[in-house]
Amino acid sequence: MRILLVEDDTTLSDAVCSYLRAKAFVVDAVPSLAHARGSLLSAQYAAILLDLHLGDGDGLQLLPDIRALREKPIVIVLTARDQVTDRIRGLDAGADDYLIKPYDPAELLARLRAVERRRSTSQSAVVKLGALEIDLSNDLVRKRGVSVPLTQKEWALLRVMATRPERIHTREALQDALYGYDDETDSNTLEVFISRLRRKLGRAHIQTLRGLGYRLAFSEVDEE
């Protein structure tokens, strides 16, 4: 999952980025509305963490730009404003959730996962594909009941596909889930991670649709 953090407190921004990146999220951090608008034009985000008190305006001013996107991300407002009226204003404006500062990073992670589950087309936090189980709540993958170890990048890629398992995910969307704009990549990096996942999960579980992208596939028989 690629996240845009809009936060002008550098210390807090660095701490949130470090925590979420350690949990296999890709995070781009910007300090202002102007930077955020530029980021929305250059990348596709699954979630936006939005501070309200920014140097160039109220964070809620970004919500019309977000609503105009074809793929609308989750929006969680992060703010020191703790009045009920402020929360209502944020939710009425289109935010999905609201978290009061100071907050525990673990609570933020739980909120992200909860909203992600509500947005998911899967009816359960555990996606079952034949002998394969993908537990989105606990970041676990099991094959025939045995845990499958994944790297952070492998899990980031798999989570995007498992959240909407019936969808064809374009190369560009999956690339966005793997890397922020400060990361260096080469042209075949995505294919390398797809190949690694197939080796670990079974080739039949990840379909390639030429010219379209990739999709998770239900399979009773696992290819080794």
Q: 105 and 130, same structural domain?
A: no
Task: Give one DSSP letter per residue of 171-200, joined into a string.
Answer: HHHHHHHH--TTS---TTHHHHHHHHHHHH
For 189-214, how does the pLDDT look when each residue is reduced to its tens digit (9 = 90+)?
Answer: 888 999 999 999 988 889 999 888 99
Q: Is residue 188 part of a domain?
A: yes
For 137-183, how does the pLDDT look when each residue is reduced to its tens digit (9 = 90+)?
Answer: 788 899 999 999 998 889 888 988 888 887 888 888 888 778 776 66
More confident: 5 or 205: 5
Strand (E) positions, the chain? 2-6, 26-30, 47-51, 53-54, 57-58, 74-79, 97-100, 126-129, 132-135, 140-143, 146-147, 206-209, 213-216
pLDDT for residue 182: 61
Please answer whether residues 214 and 168 qualify as being in contact, where contact means their C-beta atoms are separated by less than 8 angstroms.
yes
Q: 89 and 22, same structural domain?
A: yes
Q: Is residue 92 part of a domain?
A: yes
What's the CA gap between 89 and 170, in Å, rounded? 35
What's the CA gap between 88 and 114, in Å, rounded? 19
Q: Mean pLDDT across the stretch 98-111?
A: 89
pLDDT for residue 28: 94
- The average confidence (pLDDT) of the chain is 85
Q: Which of 97, 119, 141 is the last residue of a domain?
A: 119
Q: Which of 86, 119, 152 is the last residue of a domain?
A: 119
At 99, which CATH number?
3.40.50.2300
The count of domains in the chain is 2
Look at the block and give the residue holding tokens 């936060």.
7
For 116-149, how does the pLDDT look when each residue is reduced to its tens digit (9 = 90+)?
Answer: 776 665 556 788 888 889 988 788 899 999 999 9
For 67-76, how does the pLDDT look when each residue is reduced to its tens digit (9 = 90+)?
Answer: 888 888 989 9
Containing structural domain, residue 195 = 126-216
What is the band of 19 on the pLDDT scale with cuts at 50, 70, 90?
very high
CB burial class (10 A; 0-12, 13-18, 19+) of residue 109?
middle
Q: 132 and 64, same structural domain?
A: no
Q: Is residue 224 part of a domain?
A: no
